[in-house]
Amino acid sequence: MERPLTKHIKPGSPPLNLKDYLQEGGYNGMHKAFKEMKPAEVTSLVKASNLLGRGGAGFPTGVKWSLVPMDDESAKPKYLVCNADEMEPGTFKDRYLLEGNPHQLIAGMIITAYAIQAEKAYIFIRWAYKKAEAELRKAINEAYEAGYLGKNILGSGFDLDLYVHSSAGRYICGEETALLNSLEGKRGIPRTKPPFPAISGLFGKPTVVNNVETLSCIPHIVENGADWFKSLSLTGTGGTKLFGVSGRVKKPGVWELPLGITVRELLEEYAGGMADGYKFRGALPGGVSTDFLTEKHLDVKMDFSTVAAAGSRMGTGTMIIFDDKTCPVAFIHNIEKFFALESCGWCTPCREGLPWVEKILSSIEEGTGKMEYLDVLKFHTKYLGPGNTFCAHAPGAAEPLQSGLNYFYEDFVRHIDEKKCPWR
Amino acid sequence: MLTEEEKKEILEEVKQYPYPAVACIDALKIVQHHRGWVSDESVKDIAQILEISNEEVDGVATFYSRIYRKPIGRNVILICDSVSCMIMGYGSIYEYISKKLGIAFGETTSDGRFTLLPISCLGDCDHAPAIMINDDHYNNLTVGKVEELLASYN
Ligand SMILES: Cc1cc2nc3c(=O)[nH]c(=O)nc-3n(C[C@H](O)[C@H](O)[C@H](O)COP(=O)(O)O)c2cc1C
Ligand code: SF4
Ligand code: FES
């Protein structure tokens, strides 16, 4: 099984430095792009590879790049931003790539910047990822020294400067337009779309925002081609994916596997099955802003369209396992409290609705809930849902709530009937 | 008053941006790095140097969770209270620390040694429960390990 993204990552040891990475063929993709390809050809290749964004929404990467104006002098400078904010609870995949192979990301960013002709690039990294930030800065310095960054890269006439910006906290800064406001030194509040960042982004200029894992795929696609990339997945979707499992399993962890592997394989073969004494009741397949999957979904294939067809979302691909010894009301309450706290406060359903949801869940958990509260929760899943708010934060919060109410309804009712939490 | 060093560092950041206000978060971080937190007076000083209003700076300062607008202890303990750590029992870690130090979330010990704060997911979910003390991550925690850890911070 090929594992291009993690081949050179050895947990516990430092990442390869530039010299060693070059010996392993690192930066081949970058050299190939500069020598053999025009910017538009890189974009077409990425489109053909069917790479879907790994930040959670699964938007086709090549399509995003092709929205960037290419021959408009007034649209300069253009920017590339790597989203390394990774704050989705239950998610720990970008950290693995950042700490394990920063040069792979840098190579991907150079190629991407070349494709869209951006002259400045930023890595927006979460403040808590201190080790990753240190490794990145080290690798960026090496890349400058080698002439891969800076002026006239490899004699191509193309210039690129790459900066690291460490965040100041807040989940919402991972939303791409909030991230841009934050990079501009403002409160991290999402912007209206359209215009999309590809047209008007950082400082009002065309900007592509891509996730760490997305950008890390680029050098391999350029080096080995679109058909090779598609053949990596089991379902033709394109590529491998970093999958993770946390919760009460025997071996929690993160692995690079083909897209299209089943939930069961991930849980049983890679995570070693449930820990002794615990039973599987459900899973959030890709962080807390995805709908529950349950026992009947164990054979669902983990790729974007198949997980969506099963009523959830692939999200970040890092799965949180929900077991029989954890109270579902407490589990969902914890998640909604997170969303209520992290709301940027811009729009009413999210700012007012989420704290209300949180209070209701708290009262049900404490045994003081009433049956009509369940209708209030259902009402909220509708008005927090898509189309009623400025960004996808509130719809994300609605997903575990609506699916939780659906699959674990009886457990909610038991709290109300018994006037206490049956798990305590 | 900002020190000469703080001013110099802030102006260094300003240089790389199209206009000074872009350096707002950097400036807050610089002041916090030197003083541990950001006072009302520092907010005014930053506003002046960046040529924006005090309210704008305060709006930014209060938006971000890692900018402190109140004094903090010498060491900051951040306990992850997100869902994977909840499943794996962050509750017992919190109870131990809180009892041992005699403080709840949001409080500082009277000797100024520790401030205790909740934090959302630290990206250590496969080794939950996890905490950070200052810049360091600690994971796969047990009460025993936490006891040793606390003793190593002064
Ligand atoms: C509330 C919220 C938080 C987000 N956080 C992140 C994040 O931490 N990292 C990330 O890559 N994308 C995050 N996203 C998705 C981004 O908005 C954006 O879709 C993504 O960075 C695009 O990259 P991709 O096309 O490579 O997936 C978040 C979205 C929302 C609504
Ligand atoms: S949905 Fe929530 S986080 Fe998004 S813009 Fe509205 S208030 Fe802010
Ligand atoms: S949930 Fe605690 S580290 Fe992720």
Query: If we measure between CA atoms, which residue out of A305, A80, A70 comes closest to residue A215?
Result: A80
**Residues listed for chain A:** 424
CA–CA gap between residue B133 and residue B148 (Å, rounded): 13
Q: How far apart are CA A129 and CA A99, in angstroms?
A: 9
What's the 3-state SS for B31-46? Answer: HHHHHCCCCHHHHHHH
Indicate whether A91 belongs to any domain.
yes
* Domains of chain B, start order: 4-63 (1.10.10), 75-151 (3.40.30.10)
A244, closest residue in chain B (CA to CA): B126
For residue A151, give the CATH number of its domain: 3.40.50.11540
Tell me, what CATH number does A309's domain have?
3.10.20.600
DSSP β-ladder status, B131-133 and B75-80? antiparallel
Contact A128, B123 (CB under 8 A): yes
**Helices B40-50 & B4-15, crossing angle to 10 degrees?**
40
What pLDDT is stored for residue A323 in this prediction? 98
* Domain identity same for A282 and A342: no
**pTM to 2 decimals?**
0.97
CA A231 – CA B95 distance, rounded (Å):
50
> Where does a domain end: A231, A249, A281?
A231
Same structural domain, A244 and A220: no
Q: Are residues A109 and A195 in the same domain?
A: yes
| A69, A201: one domain | yes
CB B137 within 8 A of CB A95: no
Q: How far apart are CA A123 and CA B75, in angstroms?
A: 28
In a domain, A333, yes or no: yes
Dump strand ranges (E) for B27-151: 75-80, 107-108, 114-119, 131-133, 136-138
Residue A168 lies in a domain: yes
Q: What is the pLDDT of residue A88?
A: 96
Give the pLDDT score at B85: 97
Question: Does residue B81 sit at the A interface (CB-CB below 8 Å)?
Answer: yes
* Same-domain check for residues A198 and A76: yes
Domain boundary among A288, A323, A358: A323
Q: Is the peptide bond before A77 cis (omega within 30 degrees of 0)?
A: yes
With H, G, I as helix, E, B as strand and everything else as coil, classify residue A87: coil
With respect to residue A49, please indicate whether it lies within any of the assigned structural domains: yes
Tell me if A304 is assigned to some domain: yes
pLDDT value of position A97: 98
Cβ–Cβ under 8 Å, residues A60 and A47: yes
Residue A423 lies in a domain: no
Nearest to A128 among B26, B88, B123 (CB): B123
Domain co-membership, A277 together with A185: no
Q: Residue A334: CA atoms inside 13 Å, Cβ hemisphere, count?
A: 24
Question: For B107-142, how does the pLDDT look when each residue is reduced to its tens digit (9 = 90+)?
Answer: 999 999 999 999 999 999 999 999 999 999 999 999
Q: What is the pLDDT of residue A202?
A: 97
Same domain, A181 and A118: yes
Range of the domain at A378: 328-418
- Output the average pLDDT for chain B: 96
Pair A294, A344 in one domain: no
- Looking at the structure, tell me whether residues A306 and A245 fall in a common domain: yes
User: What gap in Å lies between CA A27 and CA A384, rounded to an integer?
Assistant: 44
Ligand nearest to the CA of A320: 3
The H-or-E segment that residue B8 falls in is helix B4-15
Note whether A189 and A82 are same-domain residues: yes
In this structure, the residue with its CA closest to atom 20 of ligand 1 is: A55
Best of A187, A292, A320, A358 to mutate (most B CBs within 10 Å, chain B): A187
Q: How many CB atoms lie within 10 A of CB A208?
A: 27
- The answer to the question of residue A275 being in a domain is yes
Residues of chain A with pLDDT under 50: none
Q: Are residues A174 and A272 in the same domain?
A: no
Under 8 Å between Cβ of A178 and A399: no
* B22 to A129: CB separation less than 8 angstroms, yes or no: no
Q: What is the pLDDT, as a whole number, of residue A289?
A: 97
Residue nearest to atom 4 of ligand 2 (CA): A391
* Nearest CB neighbour to A252, from listed B122, B126, B135: B126
Q: What share of chain A is helix, strand, coil (3-state, %, to 5)?
A: 45, 15, 40
Query: Is there an atom of ligand 1 within 6 Å of A56 CB?
Result: yes
Q: How many CB atoms lie within 10 A of CB A28?
A: 16
Cβ of A91 within 8 Å of Cβ of B123? The answer is yes
Ordered alpha helix ranges (H), A233-368: 263-264, 304-309, 328-342, 348, 354-366
Say how many domains are in chain A. 3
Phi, psi of A64 (to 5 degrees): -60, -45
Q: Is the pLDDT of residue B52 over 90?
A: yes
Based on its alpha-carbon atoms, the radius of gyration of chain A, rounded to whole angstroms, reads 22
Residue at which a domain ends, from A308, A323, A338 = A323
- Among the partner-chain residues A168, A245, A330, the one whose CB lies closest to the CB of B25 is A168
pLDDT, one tens digit per residue, over A391-401 is 999 999 999 99
Q: Can you read off the two tokens belonging to residue B133?
A: 């003390």
Whether residue A311 lies inside any domain: the answer is yes
Q: Which residues of A260-272 are buried (b: 16+ CB within 10 A; e: fewer)?
A: bbbbebbbbebbe
User: B65-88 in b/e burial notation, b at 16+ Cβ within 10 A?
Assistant: bbbbeeeebebbbbbbbbbbbbbb
Residues A317 and A332 in one domain: no
Confidence of residue B16 (pLDDT cuts 50, 70, 90): confident
The residue length of chain B stands at 154
